[in-house]
């Protein structure tokens, strides 16, 4: 095995184990390096049976039984009742902390899974006026009833399928039924939290509710890190099992971005009686860190016979009798109809092709693009000049606003268009594109002078002292005190001296991962010339669905087709743990 090609954490873990457990067999050390490498790629565990007897890093991995024996004799692997750096659970090998997090998530969800909330009659009485004019089996009505009837509710849908509209109605219903309930809104990033508030305000204004209900709806959202009270230097947040959060209803938007460790902390801090409503899109990229709990939860969808009866009674829908299934199934609702991307939307059609892995369909669409799509095919050396020329024109308004020190206008123009890079490195990676724009369009030399008027920056860490969250985007403008980085706040702007800013980077372009939870009028997606393992359906889908009005794809047909062929599933044991039959969990009610 070539240790130099291992990710740093995997190499460090292997070296540490080798030193601490000198008698351990190479096969066991290889498994440790492999499970750590996989964790860096987002997998929660390594399924030994998938890799046994396969080649990896130039070596042949052992057969399953030999491998298991080597691991169990190594001294650093325990079975599930033990305590060790690595845990072997069936054929799944885990880093100890990820195994513990997976167990916490499964146990916390199972505790609440069969807990029912309102009676179907209560739900119907309050939902009927909110859904006047829609059928009983309207998807949003079913989703709203699902959220009212179950303590854990998951609503998954693509862009514009009405997740916010639905949750606004759920909150209006809860405010009427449980006026004393403490409602909290949260999201994984600051930008997603801000968007959630904005979208909920718009949805609220369209609801047929009285002024008192309207006034009682929450108007603020925070990041999950802030909610849980993470300190900049600490792994353990302030709130947890010993000190639960002071709330009765928690709504979390963009829940597909929550990694396993954060989900475990969140559930452990949630009071047992509290409702949890998770909103997200299962087809989007999973979190940067390990895990894909949201998508795994959504995979439990289905209805138990009792759940089916209750939902039918709460909505008036005729539902087919449910099948015995997971205890969580009744709390999961899927929204399918996009009210943003109608049947004539090119973005919607391309996003559907991406999800289905239909590269032929995607390319056909791009070859004769509808007005909301554009394609610049070919390798990046063919289109880089064109990209700069087009951006030159597009950035004119932004540069004018920066020169005029007009932050409102600068922010408005800046957010109309965003370049999204599939990769960080390489000629069309994030770093190269940011540098290209800085040097060729803004004529700055960031190595000599990193701070200049017009530089956009994205914050890379949460900083509760400064009130900045990972993902916040600010713009640098000249002020009377010199250069200041301006971030939008609830009312107006807050300017920071550049030297005070926590870890950050230039943000003319964002990676697709960084763009999660944000939306822009227009998106240009820049694809590399070479295929890469991170190029996948969900990456392309996530990039496309960040756009409200227009998408331009810059990249070759072969790269796009290669990406759409790749569907990434993260290894984890959560789905198996969640597949607990509904009747095997004692209900608290």
Q: Which is nearer to ligand ATP, 130 or 421 (CB)?
A: 130
Structure tokens at 344: 């004539």
With binding defined as CB under 6 A, does residue 164 bind ligand ATP? Answer: yes
Closest approach of Cβ 31 to ligand ATP, in Å?
40
Q: Which is nearer to ligand ATP, 34 or 175 (CB)?
A: 175
Q: Which is nearer to ligand ATP, 133 or 482 (CB)?
A: 133
* Contact stretch for ligand ATP (CB under 6 A) within 157-165, 311-319, 321-329, 374-382: 157-165
189 is in an annotated binding site: no
Measured CA to CA, the distance from residue 417 to residue 519 in angstroms comes to 10
305 is in an annotated binding site: no
Q: How far is CA 236 from the centre of its chain?
A: 21
Q: Which is nearer to ligand ATP, 217 or 501 (CB)?
A: 217
Structure tokens at 377: 């095919």
Measured CA to CA, the distance from residue 235 to residue 121 in angstroms comes to 44
With binding defined as CB under 6 A, does residue 550 bind ligand ATP? Answer: no
Within positions 340 to 379, which residues make up the interface with ligand ATP, using CB under 6 A? 340
Closest approach of Cβ 432 to ligand ATP, in Å?
30
With binding defined as CB under 6 A, does residue 517 bind ligand ATP? Answer: no
Task: Give whole-number Cα distances, 460 to 35, 431, 506, in Å.
Answer: 26, 15, 10
* Contact stretch for ligand ATP (CB under 6 A) within 158-166, 172-180, 297-305, 526-534: 158-166
Closest approach of Cβ 196 to ligand ATP, in Å?
8
With binding defined as CB under 6 A, does residue 549 bind ligand ATP? Answer: no
> Which of 30, 37, 104, 140 forms a contact with ligand ATP (CB under 6 A)?
140
Asked if residues 149 and 117 have their Cβ atoms less than 8 Å apart, the reply is: yes
Measured CA to CA, the distance from residue 348 to residue 343 in angstroms comes to 8
> Which of 42, 62, 120, 159 forms a contact with ligand ATP (CB under 6 A)?
159
Closest approach of Cβ 284 to ligand ATP, in Å?
10
What phi and psi values does residue 472 have, to the nearest 5 degrees?
-65, 135
With binding defined as CB under 6 A, does residue 153 bind ligand ATP? Answer: no
Residue 402, C-beta contacts closer than 8 angstroms, at least 6 positions apart = 410, 453, 454, 475, 477
Helix, coil or strand: residue 45: strand
Task: Give whole-number Cα distances, 399 to 133, 305, 467, in Å.
Answer: 48, 61, 27
With binding defined as CB under 6 A, does residue 163 bind ligand ATP? Answer: yes
Measured CA to CA, the distance from residue 83 to residue 78 in angstroms comes to 6
With binding defined as CB under 6 A, does residue 157 bind ligand ATP? Answer: yes
What phi and psi values does residue 486 have, to the nearest 5 degrees?
-100, 130
> Which of 156, 161, 292, 516 forms a contact with ligand ATP (CB under 6 A)?
161
For 341-455, strand residue ranges (E) read 373-376, 417-421
Closest approach of Cβ 394 to ligand ATP, in Å?
24
Within positions 165 to 224, which residues make up the interface with ligand ATP, using CB under 6 A? 165, 199, 203
160 is in an annotated binding site: yes
Q: Which is nearer to ligand ATP, 444 or 542 (CB)?
A: 542
164 is in an annotated binding site: yes
Radius of gyration of the chain (CA): 25
161 is in an annotated binding site: yes
> Alpha helix (H) ranges present in 209-357?
211-216, 224-228, 260-269, 293-298, 305-315, 346-356
Instruction: Please report, in range form, the residues annotated as the binding site for ATP.
Output: 157-164
Residues in contact with ligand ATP by CB under 6 A are 140, 157, 159-165, 199, 203, 339-340
Instruction: Please report, in range form, the residues annotated as the binding site.
Output: 157-164
């Amino acid at each position: 095995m070539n240790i130099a090609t291992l990710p740093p954490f995997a190499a460090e873990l292997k070296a540490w184990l080798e030193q601490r457990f000198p008698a351990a067999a190479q096969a066991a050390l290889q498994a440790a390096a492999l499970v750590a490498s996989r964790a860096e790629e987002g997998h929660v565990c390594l399924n030994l049976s998938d890799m046994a007897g396969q080649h990896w890093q130039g070596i042949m991995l052992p057969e399953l039984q030999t491998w298991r024996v080597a691991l169990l004799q190594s001294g650093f692997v325990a079975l599930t009742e033990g305590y060790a750096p690595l845990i072997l659970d069936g054929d799944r090998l885990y880093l100890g902390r990820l195994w513990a997090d997976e167990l916490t998530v499964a146990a916390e969800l199972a505790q609440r899974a069969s807990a029912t909330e309102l009676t179907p009659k209560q739900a119907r009485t309050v939902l009927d006026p909110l859904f006047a004019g829609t059928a009983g089996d309207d998807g949003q009505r079913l989703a709203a009833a699902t959220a009212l009837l179950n303590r854990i509710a998951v609503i998954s849908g693509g862009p514009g399928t009405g997740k916010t509209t639905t949750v606004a109605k759920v909150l209006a219903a809860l405010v009427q039924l449980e006026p004393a309930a403490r409602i909290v809104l949260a999201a994984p990033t600051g930008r997603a939290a801000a968007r959630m508030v904005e979208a909920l305000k718009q949805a609220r204004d369209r609801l047929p509710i009285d002024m008192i209900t309207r006034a009682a709806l929450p108007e603020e959202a925070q990041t999950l890190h802030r909610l849980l009270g993470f300190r900049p230097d600490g792994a353990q947040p302030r709130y947890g099992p010993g000190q639960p959060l002071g709330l009765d209803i928690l709504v979390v938007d963009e829940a597909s971005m929550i990694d396993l460790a954060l989900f475990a902390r969140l559930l452990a801090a949630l009071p047992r009686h509290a409702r949890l409503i998770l909103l997200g899109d299962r087809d989007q990229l999973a979190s940067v860190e390990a895990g894909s709990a949201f998508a795994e939860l959504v995979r439990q969808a289905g209805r138990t016979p009792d759940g089916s009866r209750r939902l039918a009674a709460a909505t008036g829908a005729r539902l087919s009798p449910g099948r015995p299934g997971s205890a969580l199934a009744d709390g999961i609702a899927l929204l399918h109809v996009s009210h943003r991307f109608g049947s004539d939307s090119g973005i919607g059609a391309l996003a559907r092709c991406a999800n289905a892995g239909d590269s032929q369909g995607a390319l056909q669409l791009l070859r004769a693009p509808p007005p909301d799509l554009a394609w610049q095919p070919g390798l990046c050396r063919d289109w880089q000049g064109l990209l700069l020329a087009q951006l030159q024109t597009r950035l004119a308004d932004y540069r004018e606003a920066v020169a005029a020190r007009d932050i409102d206008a600068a922010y408005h123009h800046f957010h109309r268009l965003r370049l999204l890079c599939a990769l960080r490195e390489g000629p069309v990676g994030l770093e190269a594109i940011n540098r290209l724009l800085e040097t060729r369009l803004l004529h700055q030399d960031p190595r000599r002078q990193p701070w200049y008027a017009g530089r956009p920056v994205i914050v890379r860490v949460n900083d509760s002292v400064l009130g900045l969250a990972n993902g916040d985007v600010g713009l640098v403008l000249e002020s009377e005190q010199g250069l200041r980085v301006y971030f939008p706040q609830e009312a107006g702007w807050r300017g920071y001296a550049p030297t005070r800013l926590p870890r950050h980077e230039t943000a003319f372009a964002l990676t697709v991962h960084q763009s999660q939870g944000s939306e822009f009028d227009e998106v240009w997606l820049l694809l590399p010339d070479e295929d890469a393992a991170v190029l996948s359906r969900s990456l392309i889908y996530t990039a496309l669905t960040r756009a409200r009005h227009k998408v331009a794809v810059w990249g070759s047909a072969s790269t796009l087709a290669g990406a759409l062929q790749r569907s990434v599933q993260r290894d984890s044991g959560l789905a198996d743990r969640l597949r607990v039959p509904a009747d095997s969990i004692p209900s608290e009610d």
